[in-house]
Amino acid sequence: MFNNFVNVQDIYKVLKKSGKIPIILSKIIFGQRKLVKSKWAHTEDLPTNWWDIPYVTRRRNQLVSGNAQVGYREYISKRYFGGNTEMHALSLGCGTGNKELEWVKLGKFSRIDAYDVSEERITFANSVAAYNGYDRKIYYKVGDVMDIEMNDNIYDIIFVDQSLHHFSPLEDILQRINRSLKWNGYLIVNEFVGPTRFQWSDRQLEVVNGLLTILPMKYKTLWESDDVKQKVHKPSILSMIMDDPSEAIESGKIMRLLHSIFNVVDLCAYGGNILHLLLSGIAHNFLSDDAETKKYLDIISMIEDQLIESGEMDSDFVVAVCKKK
């Protein structure tokens, strides 16, 4: 309906809560920035996402670095940073700061400037950095990517880790990033690059829902609930905006713009076109490394790999190393 701006699921939700339409309209028109900040005010996440699963972490490592025990940060550091130990970095959308802590532990940076829109997350990140003795190397600050000062030719490295798909206008931001890099600087991206506003393809939904039907009930229960994940739907644009106006706002353009603005010197796809969608909300049921859990994750991963290798689907997640043009 209206190119999926609204769908049947939205209408059902509105009818259940009479009087909600004016609130919806007011949020769309007036409160998008405020809504984004409130969406990301928390400092703890439930273990219900695919990246929380140890199996998924090992799989990503294998696909990116070639070694299930070597993460992408260590891989990139060894391959591209050489003997540098005094680099100046910028991290955009740093969240609670755990990513910058992992980078600084590699011993390559004299300073990392890190920004996030959430005051709560920046306060938390600063406290953790101080506790670990890195408060004189990592400088966490509250800031919107559109408002922070990014001088030309200042950074050796810029990190964007699962936050680029929240940025808009994307092309303008990437151009600013390119200008802020030194002549030999790198943009390091670990990102969701799937469909904008999570407008999943019919084929994705067909495969995911088919796999959902074969999973035992114990793997489909939602967090601390007796409810069961029954079916995955394509979210409406309206529901995406209401939940988080920034979510996947221009994600479908990321790969094209990276290749247009930068020299992409390394590109490692690690799937997620099936695993991410299928395991969202039920990942906590797959945290164990027991034989049965591994069997189902092996099956899902094999199907995802075949769909990508055949060219039927693209990977929804990538790690990219981009050099300034």
* 4 band by pLDDT with thresholds 50, 70 and 90: confident
Tens of pLDDT, residue by residue over 153-166, are 999 999 999 999 99
Q: How far apart are CA 33 and CA 36, in angstroms?
A: 5
Domain assignments of the chain as residue spans, ordered by start? 8-324
Tens of pLDDT, residue by residue over 263-276, are 999 999 999 999 99
Structure tokens at 311: 């060219």
Predicted confidence at residue 312, as pLDDT, reads 97
Q: How far apart are CA 324 and CA 231, in angstroms?
A: 43
Q: Which residues are paired to 157 by β-bridges?
A: 89, 186
Let me know: does 258 contact 229? Beta carbons within 8 Å: no
Q: What are phi and psi of 317, to 5 degrees?
A: -135, 140
Indicate the helix (H) or strand (E) that contains 72: helix 72-80
Residue 18 has pLDDT above 60, yes or no: no
| 19 exposure class (CB count in 10 Å sphere: 0-12, 13-18, 19+) | exposed
Q: What are phi and psi of 42, to 5 degrees?
A: -75, 155
Window from 20-24, 56-60, 91-95, 202-206 with minimum mean pLDDT: 20-24
Tens of pLDDT, residue by residue over 274-288, are 999 999 999 999 999
Tokens 């699962």, located at residue = 162
Other beta carbons within 10 angstroms of residue 53's beta carbon come to 22
Distance of CA 48 to the CA centre of its chain: 14
Mean pLDDT to the nearest integer, 17-27:
50
Mean pLDDT to the nearest integer, 203-225:
97
pTM of full prediction above 0.85: yes
* 36 band by pLDDT with thresholds 50, 70 and 90: low
Mean pLDDT to the nearest integer, 124-137:
96
Indicate the helix (H) or strand (E) that contains 141: strand 138-142
Q: How far apart are CA 139 and CA 246, in angstroms?
A: 24
Does domain 8-324 fall under CATH 3.30.413.10? My reply is no
Q: Which residues are paired to 263 by β-bridges?
A: 323
Q: Considering the chain, what percentage of its residues have pLDDT values greater than 70?
A: 89
* 259 band by pLDDT with thresholds 50, 70 and 90: very high
Q: What are phi and psi of 302, to 5 degrees?
A: -65, -45
Let me know: does 91 contact 148? Beta carbons within 8 Å: no
Of 60 and 27, more confident? 60
Mean pLDDT to the nearest integer, 119-125:
96
Which DSSP letter does residue 311 get?
T
Q: How far is CA 250 from CA 74, 286, 310, in A?
A: 29, 30, 26
Tens of pLDDT, residue by residue over 37-84, are 677 667 788 899 999 999 999 999 999 999 999 999 999 999 999 999
Q: How far apart are CA 63 and CA 83, in angstroms?
A: 25
Predicted confidence at residue 14, as pLDDT, reads 44
Q: Which residues are paired to 158 by β-bridges?
A: 90, 187
Window from 8-17, 228-237, 255-264 with minimum mean pLDDT: 8-17
Q: Which residues of 75-106 are buried (b: 16+ CB within 10 A; e: fewer)?
A: bbbeebbeeeeebebbbbbbbbbebbbebbee
**Mean pLDDT rounded to a whole number for the chain:** 92
